[in-house]
Structure 1
Amino acid sequence: MRMVMVGIFLLLGLVVSPAVVLVHGQPGFISIDCGLAEGSGYKDDETTIDYSSDTDFIEAGVNKNISSSFISTSLQRQLLNLRSFPDGSRNCYTIKPVEMDSKYLIRASFMYGNYDGLNLFPQFDLYLGVNLWDSVNLTGTSGTMSTEIITISSRNFMSVCLVNTGLGTPFISTLELRLMDMSLYNLTTDDSDSLVLYKRLDVGSTTGQIVRYPNDTLDFIWSPYNLPSWTSIFTLSEVKDLYGQFSAPSMVMSTAVRPANESSDTLNFSWTTDNPSLQFHVVDHYAELEVLKENEVRDFMDCGTGVFCYGPFSPDYLVADAIYTKDTMTGQDHYSVSVIKANDSTLPPILNAIEIYALKRLPDTATNNRDVDAIMNIKATYRVKRNWMGDPCLPKNYTWEGLNCSYDSSYPPTIISLDLSSTRLSGEIAPSLGNLTSIQFLDLSRNNLTGAVPDFLVKLSFLTFLNLSSNKLNGSVPSALLERSQDGSLILSFGDNPNLCTSYSCNTTEPCLSGSCKKKHKKFVIPVIAALSVAAVLVIFTALIAWRKFREKRQGEPAANANKECSFLIQHNRRFTSTEIMRMTNNFQRVLGKGAFGTVYHGQMEDGTEVAIKMLSQIRHGSVEFQTEAQLLMRVYHKNLVSFIGYCAEGDNKALILEYMLEGNLAKHLSGKDKNARVLNWGQRLQIALDVAQGLEYLHFGCKPPIIHRDVKAANILLNERLEAKIADFGLSKAFLDEELTHISTAVKGTHGYLDPEYFNSSKLNEKSDVYSFGVVLFELITGQPAIIQSVGSERTTIVNWVAPMIEIGDIKNVVDPRLHGDYDISSGWKAIEIAIACTPPKSIGRPNMSDVVAELKECLGIGIAPERTTSVKSERPENTFGSMSYPSARW
């Protein structure tokens, strides 16, 4: 009898695809023992499956062993060890080779076994690619769980990611892939749907043992199951599968159950769930195991909770068959399946096995395949030492460091920005970069790249920013890039490449000699940059004029009928109405903060993207600052600067729409006044300092003309959900339009406590003014104290003066924030203090530049952040380790 589906009969041929050959042998398997030592592997004694170490599939995590108290002779070997992920919010396995457009069973197993001695079961999320697969919530005394999903691959690799949800450190014990034939388990009409295993039961098992490979060639795991109201029957003969839509092995199908009470007409099976939104598919397996006499009939109905009722049905002798439905069972917390004796039947019903799957739709489309292949090749070519795992663009909270992506619901995400500056790249510019055809921003500066500037960069038609400066490139810059730079369509930087020729007189037909074009370089760059700066101003000015004309046309109309548009300079030049900005903020319901010139509100765009909307107050005079910030934000882009999404200018109503930073500003995390703010550990503080330093380095050296922020302070440093720091608030910033100047004279503006004393006294501003302010912020990170400290009585002092006497006597214990409880490396602590000292001399000539500070902070971070508890009031101060940086001794 052919296999049946409720309401639909599918006629399948018996031709076996080539993939099945792989399934029926370990060549179709990938079996990973997570946490196994690198290069090791073994053949499992029970299953004969070959397991290998996970080191070829993952770049993060640490190997751990479960506690000896959980080890027993019956424990699977794969569960003795695991890989733990104490660092990073998302860690991903990249599993390959995988056959594209093929069906796989993927299984992940977890056994906690108190490996960390905390005796606390962690909870975390498990993602398949960019979509949530399951939430890991461990149970039992040892904390065990296994989850399976049947899905179709869309690439030649699969990513399985563990995501830290703040409820403990993620870990994993095993990860297994099993290639399946595409004709199996087609329970849904959409091939993109996946099936998460809920239960797979071998009912009537006479051995009480789990059945899996090699008895099940797909390595499905069948758990024995019986009820007191059932009785088992079995056969020693082989049960054959002739139809091939489902896969239950003979060992499972050769046992069955029937009602224990011979007068009973029904077999009942039920299950419960705490998630009524789950949609279940049920597969009931049947095979007749008894030779029926002429007058005997086994006929029954198979019915599921209000969804399906198929029959009457008579299974064939020793032939596997199944009843299933594509209609899902959903909306309840209790479900049941009943196998009911038909009226004409002389024998009770039977049931051999049950499978229950929860439908899992994977709605998010992964990043464009071309871009993924390109960025993977770039990662491999340069051996990028970043947490580049999983999908580059999704989920949005876990976009790869240095990347920005474009999101359009009609198309897969594409990479539009790549920042690989200061990442120690070497070799030639990788051809794979030319395959990022949607890229707009590309920064390869401050590396060791060699060879010529390739022509394929010219073909990147969307490219608007290209920074190749501070490398070892040679030859000439392609003339087409120079032309795009001259007409203003491309911001191009290529300075500090001594052997690179950069003028029209040096082209592919006229060989360049080393340095022969240096003099022409500055003459070419400055007018272009100036033109671009003017262009940025004109864009904003044009927008404001357009709005003024729009308002004049609408004069006299009732306010209720006005539907004024606000021009947002965001991706794809989308435009929003003022009604939409009200809707984004829910009528300005949630205040994120208040500044000198207005209030910042939380907003949400139509695609769900959260934003911060900075409204200029109508009663304050901040119009100049608003325009300054808008102009600068349109020019700058860096991973450590808050991203500019757009602006709105409507008469007196002005707003900047900026990237939303979940963790707010640094000041609240250091003050201790906000109960919801976390206490930053030493490593997090150093990383924040490095993030800020890199942002300032970009403003000072990566921008042409350079930009001085002028208001660097803890309140203007924002943190995202991963505690990555970004500089905000450019309202007081200044640009050096003439790069030959050593300073500019301007009215003193800034925040007391952070203000450069030389700038305060002379009104002469240069980039070293930001260095001083950064030094104050670094002291705040080290000490946990504010920039201005209320001393005993009513006296107030700066943090620079407050730390001076303690540093002089080597009292690091009382300098470093007591909330760290001494958990920091002493050498790293002194190194950080010395960097802060070097940044804060009263004269700017004694301060380092931000590039030097970045280098020293990286060294400081590399010294080690392992806990080292200070044990005395006096901790010996190490020798000056501030590299070749020259700075005066700390005389306060």
Structure 2
Amino acid sequence: MESSYKLLLVALVTFATVRFVQAQDEGFISLDCGLSPTEQSPYTESATGLQYSSDSSYIQTGKIARIQRDLEGPHLKPQTTVRYFPDGIRNCYNITVKQGTKYMIRVRAIYGNYDGLNTYPRFDLYIGPNFWITLDTKEYVRKEIVHIPRSNMLDLCLVKTDTFTPFISAIEMRPLPNNSYITTSGSLKLFSRYYFSNSEDVLRYSEDVYDRMWNSYNQTDWKEISTSLTVNTSDSFRLPQNAIKTAATSANASEPLIDIEFPESANDKVYIYLHFSEVHALKANETREFDISLNGESIKDSYKPLYLQSETLSNPSPVICTGQKCIVKLTRSGKSTHPPLLNAIEGFAVADFLQSETDENDGTNLSSNGLAGTIDAGIQNLTHLEKLDLSNNSLTGVIPEFLANMKSLMIINLSKNHLNDSIPQALRDREKEGLKLSVDGHAIACLPGSCVSKKKFPVLIVALVASVVVVVIVMVLVFIFVFRKKKTSDHVEAIPRSVVTPGANFTSTNTSETSIETKKRRFSYAEVMQMTNNLERALGEGGFGVVYHGYLNGSQQVAVKVLSESSSQGYKHFKAEVELLLRVHHINLVNLVGYCDERDHLALIYEYMPSGDLKEHLSGKRGGSVLNWSTRLRIAADAALGLEYLHIGCQPSMVHRDVKSTNILLGEQFSAKIADFGLSRSFQLGDESHVSTVVAGTPGYLDPEYYRTGRLAEMSDVYSFGIVLLEIITNQRVIDQSREKPHITEWTAFMLNRGDIARIMDPKLHGDYNSRSVWRAVELAMLCTNPSSEKRPTMSQVVIELKECLSSENSMKGKNQDTESHGSFEMSMSFDTKAVPSAR
């Protein structure tokens, strides 16, 4: 029997390991450029076990070749074939990606004298319309960038800059966690990645689950130390074991450890990522503590690496390295008994991509914009453009032939300009394929919505049609009125459309409101008065009305929200809140106990949250002790879990639309729940990822993109949550005109530029927090409040990051501190964020 159990255990472990390895390469794109589709494709690359396929389905241009046989020795597949581009200036790969996902994009170019010319090409690489880097192929070329695509299609373009022919050997794309390699702006171009060891091994997949490539490095004045034990690498960076199990220290224990990185340009804005883990078990009277600086600017003081625990530090904002020297200095503190150590390092330069990557459905309307001169060739960079309207300008010169090469372009309007009448044959050929071209003296094909019909219908026909339409509308309205009246009478438990507030005699005129059916308990107004002791104790007041304290069955505490006569929300928002709460249930959402609808009286009965709202505690109005940092993190994580459930756990998904600190209610042990769903909206199944609504919400918390466009999406809640997180961190007012920077996001960014976290943190905490968890929380909040919704994390990603922040904070505080905070969050963490529970 025991041997059977052992066999079962081995099988389970093996299965789990296989599934784990398979999960890591999910989403990997591995292209062997120049591999003929008739050859073995896909194939398994021997060194990594990853599958590579031909690039032929990702690009329609170029020719294929193979490097010289005598040069293949050092190079394994996929580095022995190339695709080269003798024709055209710009040739692009079109790669389907997942919008908003962070990718490591790596290209490799091995010339290998494939053309027999023995001349090393030099050319540019672009991502969409944005310049990435110039490739000089005198040596083996490998370039990487960490980039978040803004659409579901990414264009990787090779651009000829001289007489050389661009070519490429391999393209590799690897998804990364969105909470890794966080920056305040731009994509990241890799210029160095080293682990410190005497080994000569290059670490790659499957040792590195993200398939980063690590080279070893050491110096004669450094000493290598290591461990044979496994290091915990469960953070978002997931370093390979062989990279984090070794470290460099200074051979002279009294000297600082210095590493110098060289970016490619003197103007590069640089991020340095430092990876640490203590690999020696220090005795009770021993310590390893040191200060970390980059070009003289402090990154971290009195830092102590965690034993067998991987941790990453970086400069919070980009720096320009004078003389292209980024000097990382680790200086031993006075009380340290051991010299500093460093396990691994990565250096990146910021790539500020100023032009938006064109969405597949985008059109460009430049009509009547006073444009003059010739049509700019830069337009062809917009490779997914479908509609181009340049009409009614003063453009001159020829109609460019490159427009015919823009395969997605289906409508072109060049009318009312001063262009040469000659139309390139390539464009005439495209017309046969369905292109609609409008040029003066040529076929007129207007852009949708840009032309006004010139036809005039007889007045009699117009009048007749109008009369028929009016009759039909009247008949439809009568039918709807009769049908709804009958339907309403069929539902005894329905909330009637004639709603009167307590003590008032006004009737709702909104006769189009749909009735609400519910299985929740329906209370009479007499029961409401009894449970609240005749509305004796008011808890607060909002736009809907007054909230009163009450007891259900004489024992269960409840909160009763009663519609007031002066309510600015009324029946519509009451109905929205009831309908939402009838079908959702989550430990971090306030539970609806029942409702009252007795014609003249309307009320909602909720579970009671004894500790009030988050805003009261932060402001001190609630009294009592100050919320400590770990409790604040737990409250934030609880609230994030509630929002995550609304976004992915509900079908259809919900947007709260009024996330703020007063709508986060707290239980006895400061467990947090989201409340007030009167403004919430749902996305029906099959809808787009957003809906257009009348803008509503609370000033300061309102997503600027939603305010500007009226397009509501889950990311609007993410922005509001980011504001709440900044409140939790800083205890600053969301809008304070007395500050130099009135809005809390502007103020925080302003203070961050000074690099001192103490200036940002709530002074009531008196420095009682771990700065590492604080920095992570601040970075997360700033990501959530990015003006562009495309750059914000999802609530699932927010939950993961907050859990890691809390774990980091509690591990530093020790198990004996803040024990009162563990219970609630452990319950929250038990909610499986990967599962999508059914809505009730």
TM beyond 0.5: no
Give the greater-gyration-radius structure (CA): 1
Query: Scaled by the length of structure 2, what TM-score is found?
Result: 0.44
TM (norm. structure 1) is 0.42
